[in-house]
Chain A
Amino acid sequence: NAGVTQTPKFRVLKTGQSMTLLCAQDMNHEYMYWYRQDPGMGLRLIHYSVGEGTTAKGEVPDGYNVSRLKKQNFLLGLESAAPSQTSVYFCASSYASSGANVLTFGAGSRLTVL
């Protein structure tokens, strides 16, 4: 059982280039999320999805787009990368339920924008 898988694990971009991070989960979770982690900032929510075909903005959505065409996949796109988007990106998923709603995270994707 793979859980949440992120690809690629590492990527270096030049300013202005575009790229897509892929997240796949095999737990049949309804909810999926993209977070970024920066030093001293903790984990901040970029975008999330509450089901196939839906997306919504989180705390820091500017400069990113997402798509959830299939329930198991959640893509994060950078159309024109900026050095401020240098970060570690984490995808997560969870069941659509009340209560603690525990998130399962992927191992992260480290992105450097030069």
Chain B
Amino acid sequence: DQQVKQNSPSLSVQEGRISILNCDYTNSMFDYFLWYKKYPAEGPTFLISISSIKDKNEDGRFTVFLNKSAKHLSLHIVPSQPGDSAVYFCAARPNFGNEKLTFGTGTRLTIIP
């Protein structure tokens, strides 16, 4: 029962273009959504988050969009840079229970120079 789904295992994008990573969820109790980035042989690092009361959150080149009715969120990276090549995990948790963070399976993003 995968409550957080990232249906694209991999994505390749030309440097300078926009990268769009998608994430779908099934649990309507999820209240916070986070994106983590992971380089090989390192632990995941926090990238950006969004609360369910918002539909957009922006931080520099990174923007996360949330569509609650569709239970869908996306991460936009503009412009894409070679250093953005990594695995990106979407994660979600309900408002209660800080420990209940559920991760998606990840999308490997490759930026082509």
Residues of chain A having any CB pair with chain B under 8 Å: 4, 31, 33, 35, 40-45, 48, 50, 56, 58, 90, 92, 94, 96-108
Residues of chain B having any CB pair with chain A under 8 Å: 4, 6, 9, 32, 34, 36, 41-46, 49, 51, 89, 91, 93, 95, 98-99, 101, 103-106
Instruction: Write the nearest CB–CB distance from B31 to chain A, whole angstroms.
Output: 9
Please determine whether A97 and B98 come into contact, CB atoms closer than 8 angstroms.
yes
Q: Measured between alpha carbons, how far is A4 from B91 in the docked complex, in Å?
A: 20
Provide the residues of chain A in CB contact with B42, threshold 8 Å.
107-108
The chain B residue with its CB closest to the CB of A41 is: B105
Please determine whether B49 and A100 come into contact, CB atoms closer than 8 angstroms.
yes
Provide the residues of chain B in CB contact with A40, threshold 8 Å.
9, 105
Q: What's the A-B contact tally at a CB cutoff of 8 Å?
A: 63
| Known contacts A56-B99, A107-B43; A101/B32 CB under 8 A | yes
The chain B residue with its CB closest to the CB of A39 is: B105
Provide the residues of chain B in CB contact with A94, threshold 8 Å.
98
The chain B residue with its CB closest to the CB of A35 is: B103
Provide the residues of chain A in CB contact with B106, threshold 8 Å.
42
Please determine whether B41 and A42 come into contact, CB atoms closer than 8 angstroms.
no
- The contact of A50 among B36, B46, B99, by CB within 8 Å, is B99
Provide the residues of chain B in CB contact with A107, threshold 8 Å.
41-43
The chain A residue with its CB closest to the CB of B93 is: A101
- The contact of B32 among A31, A99, A106, by CB within 8 Å, is A99
Provide the residues of chain B in CB contact with A98, threshold 8 Å.
95, 98
Please determine whether A102 and B34 come into contact, CB atoms closer than 8 angstroms.
yes
Instruction: Write the nearest CB–CB distance from B9 to chain A, whole angstroms.
Output: 8
Q: Measured between alpha carbons, how far is A45 from B36 in the docked complex, in Å?
A: 15
